[in-house]
Structure 1
Amino acid sequence: MLACTYFFCLLCGYYVVRPLRDEMGIEGGTAKLPYLFSVTFLVMLAAVPAFGWIVARAPRRRIVPVVYGLFALQLLAFFVLLKMPISRAALAPSFFVWVSVYNLFVVAVFWSYMVDVFSAAQARRLFGFIAAGGTIGAIAGPLLTQSIVRTIGPTNLLLVSVAFLLAALGCVLLINRQVERHGLPPAADHAQPIGFGVFSGVRRVFGSQYLFAIGCWVVLGNILGAFFYLQQQIIIEATVGSPAERIQLFARLDLTVNVLAIILQLLATGRIIQRFGVGVAAAAQPALATIGFLLLAAAPTLAVIFLCQTVGRAVNYAISNPARHALFSSVTPDEKYKAQNVVDTLFYRGGDAAGGWLFALLSRSLGLEIALIAAIATPFAALWTALAIALGRMQESHRPATEQVKGVAQPSSIS
């Protein structure tokens, strides 16, 4: 129950502050977003190996309270700065990058800690229940933000997020006390460190046609995802004038995405992967992106971008992202750990940065309108779809004949 509450508080606190991050992206200037994507990429490249180096030398159950305590102090520092007579536009870029990096760690640190304190048998029995706590938190967070932002103001949302983060920290301390009382489960201390083997993973990705194809698929998807996000920010900036109203809209978007994703996970994910295979499941989001770009090319409006982002993100979380993790089921454990770590960091955030600069080239340097950019992106979304289908076929031939796909990856990804 403590672990479930911990995950609830963690994701609820994050989703309280996430809409404020998106608002800061607008207040800092949408033209600066490609720079912020690049800074996030560079900070992540430094932070992930550094954190992995620390984790490799100390038990995660000791490090996690320190990490969350530092995150809480940093949130309080942003709160103080935003209350001071300093331009919000000046603080917006650093806040945007900070939340983006925090997003990278929040779930990864949680699951690595869970692996430390639960045995394999306990994990099989409890992780589904624990994940449900995070799911509820991912719904409660944006719902809370949507309800209170006009009453307390955008800046005070940081205090709400801090409160949830401190509650998560309290859960960690209570779990640690139980661990000290009852001892660690067998082999729990042997969990792989986060961020370890980055350079070895790069060699494995570029040395394997299959792994390199997965990396290319992730990069292409994130380039197109950056296009959708930047189009969203531009349209919302032009359509919605008040910061509080924009934060409400971002919270409503997160809430709708998370509710729809849960419905799809319960009703569709397992059935689609089992019946049609990993390739078709991975192609679900790219196919919808192709349709979405066509709609934006015809009508670049708030309603259309809201529809595209809601359905696309929900399908990604519920179907395509688990399928992406399942693509690694046919490689060796060493390749799976090291290569997947590289794809999920270097390729993933690198695609964001590349997408930001390509969009800036088209919109600012060439002066193209959103509708034309969407039309240009459409064939690349179709290529993304075709690559997903090809990856499904490659996985079938790459996988040993005796293996069977037994399930989908545990829910772990937020953005």
Structure 2
Amino acid sequence: MVILLLLALPAFSLMLPKVIEFKPRGGGGGDEGPEQVLSNFAFVTSVKIGSEQQEFWLTISFLFRDVWVEGSKCKKCKVVSQTYSPGTSKTSKNLTTTNNYHDENKMLTLKGNVFEDDIVLENYKFRSKISVAHKFVDPLNLAEDGILGLGVDESSIVYEMYENNYITEPIYSIYIDEINGSYLYLDSINFTDLGLQVESTVVITLKDEIVGNFSYNGTVYDSAPIEFSSISSYIIGPYSLLQNLYTDLIMEYGCYYFEEFIVCDCEGSYPDLEFIIGEDVLVITQEFYLMKVETACFLFTNLGGTSWILGEPLLKGYFTSVDLKEKTITFNKVSYIPDTTPTTFETIEGWAVVFFTVAGSFLIYILAAGIYQIIKRKLDAQDEVPLIDNSAQDIKVLRY
């Protein structure tokens, strides 16, 4: 039975990496102002589509349902490095359905037709639905060549990987580390293998609408819907609630307006921002909601509608996992496991190595000194032997 199960797996699936490193979304180049730097958070990864395996750099978006690319005939679309033409892919299939997406806070509008085609993500190859846009409005450039939606249910491409036995559990995770790299993890996580330890965990059940309360400095404000987004650089929130925060930061903490941004002293101390969801609390500290640009620290917030969108400032503080089977999103506060490897002088074995090294070195010194003395005596003895005087014998020979 075990043999049959192994044979049922794709030949290469047991060797496939389950970790995909992604790169920051490309900026505009040159000297970027605060508005470009602060909106340049999203991460992208390479995805190949169709029989020709066209390479697209798609923005990774968790809790986003679909995969979006631009159609080659799109007239109301942004400029991208690659467009998709279903007619040139021998493996493309028109599903004769349409798809639409609109988010006023992200200023993102997508309209298109749905196709099915081959997708290659790293070395994972499978068929999936692809929304091909004939309208792609993205003034904030949140998407590069398109969007790789990791999904919220069984229609997710991650769930397709699970059903194809590429991964053992339909789980995907994002961990953003500006020093050691940012990664998309597929499958369940063993934190010890990653050199991480979990300090605290918040598990939230995925629902059509998640509602929570914003709080700071002990004041809890009215509840509002909350969305988690990996393509937003900001904490986007209701106007009235963020205005309270802005006023306090200016009046009590010495922050100030610079154009449309709130700027604070990078050396200052500022309150934690808390989002209370049921009995759980997600905390965003100043190291994540303030971003240093040259000598100033800008507040990572933006005024929105009636709901909260928690983007980069939240995700940088947690190892975030989405379980499509259990319908949960988990926020793990993690830290690197300290290196407890003992030094040479902290173990008996280490001291033994040191002792034998010193003893061996001393023995070699004694042997070398002894050999030197023997050679020196022989050379001195040769110097003391008198030279033979052959002059008399030579005279006799001449007389003869």
Same fold per superposition (TM over 0.5): no
Higher helix share: 1
Structure label with greater radius of gyration: 2
Provide the TM-score with structure 2 as the length reference.
0.23
Higher strand share: 2
Q: Which has the higher contact order (CA 8 A, sep 6+)?
A: 1
